[in-house]
Each structure stands twice: as C-alpha cells, then as structure tokens.
Copies of this chain bind each other. A is one copy, B any other.
Amino acid sequence: MIFVGFGFLMTFLQRYGYSGVGFNFLLAAFGIQWALLLQGWLHCYREGYILIGVENLINADFCVGSVCVAFGALLGKVSPIQLLIMTLFQVTLFSGNEFILLSLLEVKDAGGSMTIHTFGAYFGLTVSWILYRPNLHHSKQPQSPVYHSDLFAMIGTLFLWIYWPSFNSAVSSHGDAQHRAAINTYCSLAACVLTSVALSSALHKKGKLDMVHIQNATLAGGVAVGTAAEMMLMPYGSLIVGFSSGIISTLGFVYLKPFLESRLRIQDTCGIHNLHGIPGIIGGITGAVTAAFANSAVYGEEGLIQAFGLRSKLDSSMQANLQAAGLFISLAMALVGGIIVGLILKLPFWGQAPDQSCFDDAVYWEVPEHERTALRPEHTTLRPPEP
C-alpha cells in the first residue's frame, strides 16, 4: 500500500517521475527484505529459522515507510546506489531504534509518529544537510511541477489519505484499540484538510491555493495523530490535533522551507520536514500528554491494562515520561545516524549526478527519445514568444 502512495507523491517533479516512482519501488523491495531479515533476527529467531507471519510483513512495511520519508528529502539529488546504501543503514538504525522504544521502554507508538515519521524525517534532513549542493539551481531541469505531474502526485496523496486509518491501526491489538485508532485518524485527517486549504488560501497574495500544500499538508493530521491514535484521544481531541497540525504544516511550507534551505543549508525536495518532521514531533508530544491523562475512569480497569500494559507499579505519568524519552531517543538516533550515513554517502565513488543533472530522469533512465529533444526547444521558443 505504502509504495503506491509514496511513489506517486514523488512524481510531482516535471522530469523526475520515473525516478520518483521507480527508485521508491526499488528501495521498498530491497528494504523489505533487509527489514524482514533484521527483525527476524531480533525478534523471531528460533532454532536457526526465522518465523515469518503477516505481522512481520507489516512491520517491514513500516520500516520501509521510514526510508521513503527520508528519500523525500533527497529526491532528485542522489543516485540509486546511494539510495540502496542509505536504505541498508537506515533499516538497521530503524530496527535498533524501534527495539529500544517498543521492547525496552515499552513506549506505545501505533502509527509510528516517533519511530517512522520523526526518525525518518530528521534522518533524511540530516543526510540532506551533509550532502548540501550549493549550486543546485544550475540544474537544467527546474525543480517545479507541471500540470499533469501534479495530478499524478494527487493520486499519491489521496491514496495515502484513504489508507492512513488502516495504516495507523494496523498493529494495534484487535478490537477497541484498533477501532479507536481508525476513527481518531479519520477525524484528524478530515480536520487537517480544512485548515490546510484555508491557510493555503489565506497566505497567498491573491487568495489562490497552492497544490503543494494540498498534496502534503493535508496528510499531516495522520502523522500527528499516529502515536495517540489507539489511545483515548476522543474525536474532539483528534480534531484539535488535525486542526493544529494542518496549520503548522502549511506554515512550514510557506515560511520554514525557504528558511531551512537558505540559512541552514538543508535542501528538502518534498518538504518532509513539514509533512513528517514537525507533525511527528507533535504526534510524540500528543502521545505523551494523552498517556499522562490515562486513568481507569476513561479506559476502564481492564481497558487500561490492555492499552498500556500498566500494572500496579507503572502509573500513567511514568508512561508519559517514557513516551517523551522515546521521542528524544528517536531524534538523537536520527541526527547521529544521519551524520554518519551522510558522510558515507559523500564519498565520491557512488555515481552521484553533477549539479546540473539533478531532477533529471535522463541520467538514470532510458527516456523516450523524441521527448528529450522535443521538450527543450519547445520551452525555449515559447518562453520568449517568438523573438
């Protein structure tokens, strides 16, 4: 499921659709196998065999989701070999991080706000920071969409939007928690769309909407509700989460993305900081707060034990502290891991494209012949309309 969504979300660049879909497909296929092996060794190794079930496939999917997020920051600037190496390391780090959070700290993170989105986004941003290309504007292919490529990207958005409730509830325990997760996510997503559209229009000089915000900010609500989705967030709570994450994400696209690029030298092609980074942190905090207010009056005695596994000793404020700790550990792992992997990827023998060939499919793909020749003259003759 995830691959379709993420893949098409990345087709918005006018001459980079093949790579957006294709490389995503490649890293997903590679990442899943590596994640299956790694998670098998960590969790299900019995007498020389790895036991595999549908659970493992879903977990491997989630792990690859995190790599797709990080790929979003690097889209158009890395070679497929660099991508595969990044996938190799990131899956390893992800599995380590997940093991610490879920198994050691017993943090709850059903929708992966922390383990998938926060980790993936800041990992990708750190790698992008290390691989900074100062002359990216020399690229022959503009880093902008065309009409049809935006529509392809909308396929991705709608896919992700529709499957997000299933995504956030996939690993929750069946029954109450799973239902809660789906409904909370649904409400949060719906609220998020409204605020994204409203703000996108309000921030534009002429009140027009920006397709980039619609494609991305509308999904922030799903990210932000990830951790708390299976908890007793209540529909009103998830509406508030969706409402605020839509606002923050759109603001991020308008103000923060240019700032990151010019000042902090972080080039974030898809704007993952605004779609996954900040909403992921919001999600982590929301999870901690919701956990802090968990008590048997809301969940029922039995429900509380089911939801958090809280016995007599661990009370809910302890759980909240652990949730917060999980968020910081994810961030730390992402930053340290990102720097190391970024330095490895900076080594000059991975077949990087030069600056002027970024965002261009023709470097890695056999592009239909007459298009390559046809499109260039068309543009040059048409922009200055007949000299």
Contact = CB atoms under 8 A, between A and B. Distances in A.
A167 to B, nearest CB: 14
- Majority-rule SS of A interface residues: helix
A105 to B, nearest CB: 30
A144 B366 CA distance: 12
Nearest to A351: B207
Number of copies of chain A assembled together: 3
A252 B145 CA distance: 35
A336 interface: no
B370 A209 contact: no
A214 to B, nearest CB: 5
A4 B160 CA distance: 11
Interface in A155-193: 155, 158-159, 161-162, 179, 182-183, 186-187, 189-193
A73 B338 CA distance: 47
A183 B54 contact: yes
B182 A22 contact: no
A314 interface: no
Nearest to A158: B4
Contacts of A369: 144
Interface of A: 1, 3-4, 7-8, 11, 14-15, 17-18, 21-22, 25-26, 28-30, 32-33, 36, 50, 52-54, 57, 80, 144-148, 150-152, 154-155, 158-159, 161-162, 179, 182-183, 186-187, 189-194, 197, 201, 204, 208-211, 214, 218, 235, 239, 363-371, 373-374, 377-379, 382-383, 385-386
